[in-house]
Chain A
């Protein structure tokens, strides 16, 4: 028999749940809660989705003019060193 857990408790533990940083007992309680709580499932799905997106190498773009400024600085250094 799994002891029930409130939505508030689930939110407090959701990050650790994603990181696998909770006990087996807590995991079982949370998974039982997710089965019957659409709200907490939505919080879990969204949080997991965000973590996956920001961990993707494509998430950040190069600022405009970055290359030009980089090679300008490099050229200055090359001019000094050569």
Chain B
């Protein structure tokens, strides 16, 4: 059993630290990474895990205010109060969508997977025992949904992957901008312009680079786990990750002219946040 990932998810106004732990199957492959725990999420695990290897996830909550009201809401849902389920889901919408979007990188697909996850949560709610937050459980289901969809897409895009193989090995990527980096603080993520710039930069990557970058840097999976999920070698993960990171950096650089002074018009044009 090993620690695969530790994520910080914001939901219900709280920061939730979720730790994914999983045992590998005999071949050393990890085919399912998202599950709340072996008891509550068993059905969902089986649906998403082709190899059927045992998995467990422990959710560690840094703060759990309102736990009683969540339990009350669940009880009301189980007694037939539909509105209570909406109340339960509403604060998690963003985190659920983010969990699917970062894996699928397509709004329509991500929304579809998020909706399916919510419906599955509703169907399986009676199996949720409340050992952890409902939001954590729901996000695990959403991640599973997105990964299943990704696997299907990969299967369907066999021709794409053959084209990629024909591309052969990549040459070195040379960064385009060398001006001193003016750090973008995390607080700037509150600005829509920066979030849009990140999405644009992500979209500018090729599919194979984006897949690696998202799993490794957005979802915080290890290099080995990323390789297993995508069915590629660890060396390929590292090569693609390097290019993706450098391309993302160039996409967010303020410009070749080095207009780094925040007060200058050129800087404002490129980095309005």
Is the CB of B169 closer than 8 A to any CB of chain A? no
B217 proximity list for chain A (CB < 8 A): 51, 54-55
Contact B184 A82 (CB under 8 A): no
Contact A63 B178 (CB under 8 A): no
Contact A63 B107 (CB under 8 A): yes
A57 proximity list for chain B (CB < 8 A): 8-10, 95, 98
Minimum CB distance partner of A8 in chain B: B172
B interface majority secondary structure: helix
Contact A45 B246 (CB under 8 A): no
A55 proximity list for chain B (CB < 8 A): 217-218, 220
Contact A21 B223 (CB under 8 A): yes
Among B90, B172, B249, point to the contact of A50 (Cβ < 8 A): B249
Q: Which of A44-73 contact B (CB under 8 A)?
A: 45-47, 49-63, 66-67, 69-71, 73
Minimum CB distance partner of B96 in chain A: A70
Question: Known contacts A21-B223, A47-B245, A50-B245; is A58 also within 8 Å of B190 by CB?
Answer: yes
Question: Known contacts A12-B242, A50-B245, A60-B98; is A70 also within 8 Å of B10 by CB?
Answer: no
B184 proximity list for chain A (CB < 8 A): 49, 53
Contact B115 A73 (CB under 8 A): yes
Contact A43 B172 (CB under 8 A): no
Question: Known contacts A15-B245, A53-B184; is A43 also within 8 Å of B175 by CB?
Answer: yes
Q: CA of A57 to CA of B9 in the docked complex: distance in angstroms?
A: 6
Residues of B at under 8 Å CB distance from A?
8-10, 80, 82, 85-86, 89-90, 93-95, 97-98, 101-102, 107, 111, 114-115, 118-119, 122-123, 172-175, 177-181, 183-184, 186, 189-190, 192, 194-195, 198-199, 202, 213, 217-218, 220, 223, 238, 241-242, 245-246, 248-249, 252-253
Among A11, A19, A60, A63, point to the contact of B175 (Cβ < 8 A): A11
A interface majority secondary structure: helix
Minimum CB distance partner of A42 in chain B: B181
Q: CA of A46 to CA of B177 in the docked complex: distance in angstroms?
A: 10
Minimum CB distance partner of B11 in chain A: A57
Question: Known contacts A42-B179, A53-B186, A55-B220; is A70 also within 8 Å of B98 by CB?
Answer: no
Residue in B111, B123, B174 whose Cβ sees the most chain A Cβ within 10 Å = B111
Minimum CB distance partner of A77 in chain B: B119
Instruction: Name the distance in Å between A58's Cβ and chain B's nearest Cβ.
Output: 4
Question: Known contacts A43-B175, A74-B119; is A59 also within 8 Å of B111 by CB?
Answer: no
Q: CA of A32 to CA of B172 in the docked complex: distance in angstroms?
A: 22
